[in-house]
Amino acid sequence: MISLNQSSMLGCGQTKALLRLRRRSLEAAPRAELVVRCSGVARRGSVAMENASESNGAAAAAAAASVVDTKSAVGGGVQDVYGEDRATEEQHVTPWAVSVASGYSLLRDPHHNKGLAFSEKERDAHYLRGLLPPAVVNQDLQEKKLMHSLRQYKVPLQRYMALMDLQERNERLFYKLLVDNVEELLPVVYTPTVGEACQKYGAIFRRPQGLFISLKEKGKILEVLRNWPEKRIQVIVVTDGERILGLGDLGCQGMGIPVGKLSLYTALGGLRPSACLPITIDVGTNNEQLLKDEFYIGLRQRRATGQEYLELLDEFMAAVKQNYGEKVLIQFEDFANHNAFELLERYSRSHLVFNDDIQGTASVVLAGVVAALKLVGGTLAEHTFLFLGAGEAGTGIAELIALEMSKQTKAPLEESRKKIWLVDSKGLIVDSRKESLQHFKKPWAHEHEPVKNLLDAVKAIKPTVLIGSSGVGRTFTQEVVEAMASFNEKPLILALSNPTSQSECTAEQAYTWSKGRAIFASGSPFDPVEYEGKVFVPGQANNAYIFPGFGLGLVMCGAIRVHDDMLLAASEALAQQVTQEHYDKGLIYPPFTNIRKISAHIAAKVAAKAYELGLASHLPRPENLVEFAESCMYSPLYRSYR
Ligand SMILES: NC(=O)C1=CN([C@@H]2O[C@H](COP(=O)(O)OP(=O)(O)OC[C@H]3O[C@@H](n4cnc5c(N)ncnc54)[C@H](OP(=O)(O)O)[C@@H]3O)[C@@H](O)[C@H]2O)C=CC1
Ligand SMILES: CC(=O)C(=O)O
Ligand SMILES: [Mg+2]
């Protein structure tokens, strides 16, 4: 028999096929999980047991031992992950033990708990009698009940907390809710509510949901990684909390962002929850309010910078590679731009790194713009772009649009860049400012006289596309939108800043001030708007469309590096999912309801590009990459336990 440990070394499609085969051959016998304990911390080993009943416990243990990874050495029945079996007598080792999750501990294990959905047979086999009330209900009914009770909460943060509790209690049910009700729940686990959750994270903190790596852990980051109970990590989302959405420095409380992003990796992209690791690097915070807050959960010091900061990051990146290998995807999220560009550059040749704010946002916005061409006409190169905000999102998007323009027109990149203008807090970026500009702004310093504010820049540049990426709310004023509408039949206006409070304008403002002519999308969702008897449905221009499918594509082909052409491929795949029906509603993105299908197409295009570029390591290349992506996706449906 092949162990689950062995099977998980296979491609995920093969693993699924194997699991199906096993399930059939064992006649869906209920499955118990081995729990490996170390100093009181429950560790899950992906090991199947033939039978967990007391009467044949010895046989079960023997069977379990026979199915564990071949790497396990001197007995123990557990893979020798950290070389303890090989340790000499002088070396310290971890006291591993093996036990079976059943009874009360099974109910308390979020990965395996099914609540009232445990069948009569499972209740007998797993010592659950009396621990549950008599009713047996199915997962659909559990979902119906939970959605009903979630809808009773009028305060979004209460919904957020209820969902986080569910994730901690019953992981599969949490993901089933998220997958089946994505449009309704996305604003709860993600922007805008996750922003409020981060602001109040200390006060609402109950149980840690990811790894906290602070300056205190300097020199022992590898050990900290080893404290995490899962070993086969495929995606890490890491933040240092310095630029959380448009809310600024939230220090250690930024943890809500990696947790939220990774729940989308699973719900929207189908990555296994156990393969996802949220991490917050705590180097302090410059947020005075948090430093004074008695409930603050992070280091109470101002941010480390320079050499001290980089040394911690270097140690972290080296430890990740050492512990999880070359192919773990590290997604940087919500770092401040003075670190974000440098970190991406620093590790892009040694690690599989992706900055969602720079690259994921670029890919999603390019897709929206390309789709919008069907509504506004012209080619990419025939449009003129103006950004409010020249940071990670703004310059990241600008660069990818310019790259795509150049590919289409065969013009040099410098020429394409001239169609794109950016405004920062000091005004239009022009050549006379070049010397004092941060390096990522320099390519956008075009010849022009100085312009101090957005309205004057709009009037001077006359853009066809206006993109907000400033993190400052209500900066697309009535005058700005009216100016856009005065020289564009259909102005394309994207207010990307999150959360809703920081959106450059609301959907209602965009439609009303443009007299119903704007094509509008925003980073955080807005409800449909009725203007002069017509209903306008605003789209959501958010990197959540891209990163789950993008990450799945990288993981499923075993990519070793991210390449710009993969971002273009993801963007193309997303734009192709916009149908005439969507265009008829004025949408430039497909609805999130179809996101798993969309993610499969994105993953397929990304993987295809990786194979083409020689950056994929899982060989041979599957013939049908869309089908392969779908076959890799995690299903939140309950499994039967033998
Ligand atoms: N929808 C989506 O998918 C995404 C949305 N975002 C959102 O975009 C926003 C910006 O993120 P990011 O680019 O990473 O942030 P950065 O801090 O890197 O960039 C912000 C930019 O906005 C400029 N700016 C700030 N205030 C003003 C102002 N009053 N007028 C003009 N420009 C101003 C800054 O100018 P200066 O350089 O002079 O300081 C800077 O260039 C955030 O709200 C974030 O939530 C980000 C990623 C994805
Ligand atoms: C969406 C996102 O990544 C941000 O606002 O930072
Ligand atoms: Mg972000």
How far apart are the C-alpha atoms of 176 and 135, rounded to whole Å? Answer: 21
Could you tell which of 245, 249, 504 is best to mutate to test the pocket of ligand 2, judged by most ligand atoms within 8 Å of the CB?
245
Give 392-418 pLDDT, tens digit per residue: 999 999 999 999 999 999 999 999 999
Q: Is the CB of 498 under 6 A from ligand 2?
A: yes
- pLDDT for residue 642: 84
Give the amino acid at 566. Answer: M
Our measurement of the distance from residue 432's CA atom to the centroid of its chain's CA atoms, rounded to an integer in Å, reads: 39
Q: By C-alpha distance, which of 553, 562, 584 is closest to 371?
A: 584
Output the furthest CA–CA distance in the chain (Å, rounded): 85
- pLDDT for residue 86: 61
Q: What is the DSSP string of 415-455?
A: HHHTTEEEEETTEE-BGGGGGGS-TTTGGG-BS-----SHH
Protein residue whose Cα sits closest to atom 21 of ligand 1 = 389
Here the ipTM equals 0.99
Q: How far is the CA of 498 from the centre of ligand 2 (A)?
A: 6
How far apart are the C-alpha atoms of 488 and 174, rounded to whole Å? Answer: 45
pLDDT-derived band of residue 32, with 50, 70 and 90 as boundaries?
A: very low
Residue 76 has pLDDT above 50, yes or no: no
- pLDDT for residue 90: 73
Ligand 1 pocket at CB < 6 A: 243, 245-246, 337, 357, 361, 388-394, 423-426, 469-472, 475, 496-498, 502, 523, 541-543
266 in Cβ contact with 272 (< 8 Å): yes
How far apart are the C-alpha atoms of 245 and 191, rounded to whole Å? Answer: 8
Tell me the percentage of the chain whose pLDDT exceeds 70: 85
- pLDDT for residue 17: 43
The average pLDDT across 264-290 equals: 98
First to last CA, the chain: 17
Give the amino acid at 314. Answer: D
Strands 352-355 and 385-388: unpaired
Give 567-617 pLDDT, tens digit per residue: 999 999 999 999 999 999 999 999 999 999 999 999 999 999 999 999 999
Strands 276-282 and 235-239: parallel
Q: Which residues contact 86 (CB under 8 A, 6 or more apart)?
A: 73, 80
pLDDT-derived band of residue 201, with 50, 70 and 90 as boundaries?
A: very high
Residue 563 has pLDDT above 90, yes or no: yes
- pLDDT for residue 99: 66
Residue 100 has pLDDT above 80, yes or no: no
How far apart are the C-alpha atoms of 494 and 478, rounded to whole Å? Answer: 15
**Residue 605 annotated to the active site:** no
DSSP SS3 for 554 = helix
Residues in the chain: 642
Give 454-493 pLDDT, tens digit per residue: 999 999 999 999 999 999 999 999 999 999 999 999 999 9
335 in Cβ contact with 245 (< 8 Å): no
Could you tell which of 244, 355, 392, 550 is best to mutate to test the pocket of ligand 1, judged by most ligand atoms within 8 Å of the CB?
392
Residue 243 counted as an annotated binding residue? yes
Residue 124 counted as an annotated binding residue? no
How far apart are the C-alpha atoms of 526 and 507, rounded to whole Å? Answer: 6
Residue 46 has pLDDT above 80, yes or no: no
Q: Which helix (H) or strand (E) holds 35?
A: strand 33-38
Strands 519-522 and 492-495: parallel
Protein residue whose Cα sits closest to atom 16 of ligand 1 = 391
Residue 96 has pLDDT above 70, yes or no: no
Give 128-161 pLDDT, tens digit per residue: 999 999 999 999 999 999 999 999 999 999 999 9
Protein residue whose Cα sits closest to atom 33 of ligand 1 = 425
CB atoms inside a 10 Å sphere around CB 449? 9
Question: Angle CA(305)–CA(309)–CA(312) in degrees, nearest 5?
Answer: 165
| pTM for the predicted model, two decimal places | 0.89
Which atom of ligand 1 approaches the CA of 334 most closely? 14
Could you tell me which residue, 69 or 611, shows the higher pLDDT?
Answer: 611
Question: Angle CA(35)–CA(36)–CA(40) in degrees, nearest 5?
Answer: 105
Q: How far is the CA of 191 from the centre of ligand 3 (A)?
A: 10
Buried b (16+ CB within 10 A) or exposed e, 563-585: bebbbbbbbbbbbbbbeeebeee
pLDDT-derived band of residue 72, with 50, 70 and 90 as boundaries?
A: very low
Residue 542 counted as an annotated binding residue? yes
Could you tell which of 388, 425, 522 is best to mutate to test the pocket of ligand 1, judged by most ligand atoms within 8 Å of the CB?
425
Could you tell me which residue, 90 or 214, shows the higher pLDDT?
Answer: 214
Mean of all residue pLDDT scores within the chain? 89
- Cα separations (Å) of 14 from 7, 468, 615? 8, 44, 21
Going across the sheet that includes 492-495, the strands are 427-428, 420-424, 385-388, 465-468, 492-495, 519-522, 539-540
CB atoms inside a 10 Å sphere around CB 464? 23
Q: Which residue has the tokens 């990304």?
A: 606
**Residue 200 annotated to the active site:** no
The secondary structure of 104-135, three-state, reads HHHHCCCCCCCHHHCCHHHHHHCCCCCCCCCC
334 in Cβ contact with 241 (< 8 Å): yes
538 in Cβ contact with 528 (< 8 Å): yes
Q: Is the CB of 502 under 6 A from ligand 2?
A: no
How far apart are the C-alpha atoms of 187 and 498, rounded to whole Å? Answer: 11
Strands 492-495 and 352-355: unpaired
The secondary structure of 337-368, three-state, reads HHHHHHHHHHHCCCCEEEEHHHHHHHHHHHHH
Give 416-436 pLDDT, tens digit per residue: 999 999 999 999 999 999 999
How far apart are the C-alpha atoms of 41 and 507, rounded to whole Å? Answer: 48
How far apart are the C-alpha atoms of 192 and 25, rounded to whole Å? Answer: 46
Question: Angle CA(553)–CA(554)–CA(559) in degrees, nearest 5?
Answer: 140
pLDDT-derived band of residue 101, with 50, 70 and 90 as boundaries?
A: confident
pLDDT-derived band of residue 82, with 50, 70 and 90 as boundaries?
A: low
- The rounded radius of gyration (Å) of the Cα atoms in the chain is 26
Tell me the percentage of the chain whose pLDDT exceeds 90: 84
Q: How far is the CA of 364 from the centre of ligand 3 (A)?
A: 13
Q: Which of 31-35, 129-133, 381-385, 441-445 has the lowest mean pLDDT?
A: 31-35
353 in Cβ contact with 540 (< 8 Å): no
Buried b (16+ CB within 10 A) or exposed e, 513-549: bbebbbbbbbbbbbeebeeeeeebebbbbbbbbbbbb
Q: Which residue has the tokens 């390591």?
A: 617
Alpha-helical segments (H) within 193-301: 193-199, 201-204, 221-227, 256-269, 288-292
Phi and psi angles of residue 193, each rounded to the nearest 5 degrees, phi first: -65, -35
Which position among 127, 160, 175, 190 bears the catalytic label?
A: 190
Could you tell me which residue, 77 or 189, shows the higher pLDDT?
Answer: 189
Give 286-334 pLDDT, tens digit per residue: 999 999 999 999 999 999 999 999 999 999 999 999 999 999 999 999 9
Residue 333 counted as an annotated binding residue? yes
- Cα separations (Å) of 562 from 232, 352, 356? 21, 6, 12
